[in-house]
Amino acid sequence: MTNVMTNTEISLEKSYKDSFSLSCRDEEIFLELLNTLNMERQTKTIKIKQLVFKPLPTAIEASNIFDSDEDFLAVVNDSIENGTKLYLEIDGCPYMLRNTAMASIYERLRISGDALESIPAAILAQHLNNYAAYADNDGLLIFNNRKIEAILGRKYNLFPAETVMELAADYFAQGTPAKFVGGSYSHDHTLAVWNTGECRVEVPFDSATSDILYEQSVSLSTSDCGRKAITISPQMRQKGDRCGLAYCLPLKLEHDRNTNMEKLQSTMALIDKRFQDANDCIRNLLDTTLEHPANVLLSMYKWLKIPAKYGAVIYESRKVMWGNRSQTAYDVYASLSDVLSLVMGEEKSQKKLAEYREGFARALKFDFTGHDLPGQYSYKDKYIGKKGV
């Protein structure tokens, strides 16, 4: 009888590729996929001075060097295609480096600089070997899907993505009713989202204004290579906002020795409080009137370090739209939805979009009234009144 491979099985065969990613809308299947992808993950403590960096050969050279192992040659060729310059030799055995690994290696060797990306492979390898020879620190090596994913510092205590997601699934199954929306995986970012229903923010102080309806969800993200904190993002998104601007501040847990199952559970238990805090914050924003809203908006965009290509056009359009009329702090914050729309038009990475949303959520704590200052300004200005932006 012939065995027929499913599309998922064929896809997982390519999990060694740096560009590998997948998404799934079924919670049970998603959790199974994470367990399968990470079942052969290995971690071990190594001496940094044990590392020997070598320039990655060309495809023709690699076929001669590694011709006895077809599977390993496929991994080598993927690194070559992705422009990886180096590979590692540990105790005489060669290991390919994933594209997520170099940043952590530079951190272990305490070196940095834009020039590192421009140095030829042979010179870079020699440079790193010289640094490694004098390093007296240890590193936590993470090997998964046939490549080294990261070499982290002593403070790291990797909390595996599959464990994080299983705990979250159990939390929602036993407590707050929630529907699994979907999950995604790449080598440097694992994300899952649960929808927890709708809520209504009452606006009793203004009978002319309708109550505002929000969709509530919880986004949970982490990194298998320890390069991103475990981030629990309770999200209140205004009904009909396709961009998904969040009105909640995220909860974060670093991959360190203080993070364990109990700490994650206690942090998850704060989700409902975050939603209540967001409700109070929205009411406060609605109740805060600004006399110079365009200047507050400009200050907020600068504070968030929003590039001019996204922020300037929204700032100019709102300045014209609002004119000399006062607006609420809620109107100013809500303008970030338009910025997010521009970002989504260019940025396809779910990780980057999540980072933008998390960053924008910080503006809920922005000092709106403190920046409500008169004057005419442009996106190039570095001061609003006497305040640096």
Lowest mean pLDDT among 260-274, 316-330, 334-348: 334-348
pLDDT of residue 2: 38
Tokens of 216: 């509530």
pLDDT at 3 over 50: no
Query: Could you say which DSSP state residue 243 is in?
Result: T
Average pLDDT over residues 51-69: 90
Average pLDDT over residues 62-82: 90
Confidence of residue 85 (pLDDT cuts 50, 70, 90): very high
One DSSP character per residue, 58-116 reads: PHHHHHHHSTT-HHHHHHHHHHHHTT--EEEEETTEEEEBPTTHHHHHHHHHT---GGG
The domain ranges of the chain are 42-153, 161-287, 289-371
| Cα–Cα dist 336/203, whole Å | 22
One DSSP character per residue, 168-209 reads: HHHHHHHSS--EEEEEEEETTEEEEEEEEEEEEE--TT-TTS
How do residues 254-306 score in pLDDT, each as one tens digit?
A: 888 888 889 999 999 999 999 999 888 988 999 999 999 999 999 999 999 99
Average pLDDT over residues 189-211: 78
How do residues 113-124 score in pLDDT, each as one tens digit?
A: 888 889 999 999
Instruction: Please choose, from the candidates 130, 129, 134, the residue with its C-alpha nearest in 3D space to the C-alpha of residue 86.
Output: 129
pLDDT of residue 5: 36
How do residues 15-26 score in pLDDT, each as one tens digit?
A: 999 999 999 999
| Cα–Cα dist 286/115, whole Å | 48
Q: What is the mean pLDDT of the chain?
A: 88
Instruction: Please choose, from the candidates 165, 163, 146, the residue with its C-alpha nearest in 3D space to the C-alpha of residue 219.
Output: 165
| Cα–Cα dist 51/109, whole Å | 11
For residues 220 and 192, the answer to whether their CB atoms sit within 8 Å is yes
Confidence of residue 1 (pLDDT cuts 50, 70, 90): very low
Average pLDDT over residues 29-45: 94
Confidence of residue 249 (pLDDT cuts 50, 70, 90): confident
pLDDT at 189 over 80: yes
